[in-house]
Amino acid sequence: MTATSFYPVLMSADVSAAADFYHRVLGFETTFEADWYVSLRRSAFELALLDAAHPTVPAGFGRPVQGLLLNLEVTDVDAEHRRLVAVHGLEPVLALRDEDFGQRHFIVEAPDGVLVDVIQPIEPSPAFAAAYRE
């Protein structure tokens, strides 16, 4: 198989509101936009949003996304925390903290209940360091 792209498509109850969040808060740009589908890109990263009620969705599967955590790795998680809280008024659902497994992170909620985990890698504790592979 020769893959040319691989990206998530999130089924949404409100494509316009979800697209606005990913534009305004996370800096994605639109590469295609219809009232039922929006394709987004930020540098090499892609994300798409699809109206859960659109007829291309197979019968019985048209539900807005649930139980999804998107990881957004950044170079300065403290600055992103300040920006998302102060500028965008988001209230983290997981407070900024360091994890023994090698992350400093916090989590915010995006539309449709999607969680965005904003992460900066840090040195893991010795107990977790051995679990990492080159």
Instruction: Specify which residues 70 forms β-bridges with.
Output: 116
Enumerate residues 6+ apart whose C-beta is below 8 A from 35.
15, 16, 51
Domain boundary residue among 34, 60, 86? Answer: 60
Tokens representing residue 128 in the block: 């977790």
Task: Name the β-bridge partners of 45.
Answer: 42
Spatial distance between the Cα atoms of 15 and 113, rounded to a whole number of angstroms: 13
Domain end: 60, 84, 106, which one? 60
Domain boundary among 9, 41, 60: 60
Distance (Å) of CA 1 to CA 5, 47, 125: 12, 22, 39
| 25 and 51 housed in the same domain | yes
Report how far residue 105's alpha carbon sits from residue 48's, in angstroms, rounded to the nearest whole number. 24
In the chain, how many domains are there? 2
Phi first, then psi, for residue 10 (nearest 5°) are -95, 125
Q: Could you give phi then psi for residue 20, rounded to 5 degrees?
A: -60, -45
Give the pTM.
0.92
Return the number of other C-beta atoms located less than 10 Å from residue 105's C-beta: 24
Instruction: For the chain, 134 residues long, give each residue's pLDDT as a single digit of tens.
Output: 999 999 999 999 999 999 999 999 999 999 999 999 999 999 999 999 999 999 999 999 999 988 999 999 999 999 999 999 999 999 999 999 999 999 999 999 999 999 999 999 999 999 898 888 87
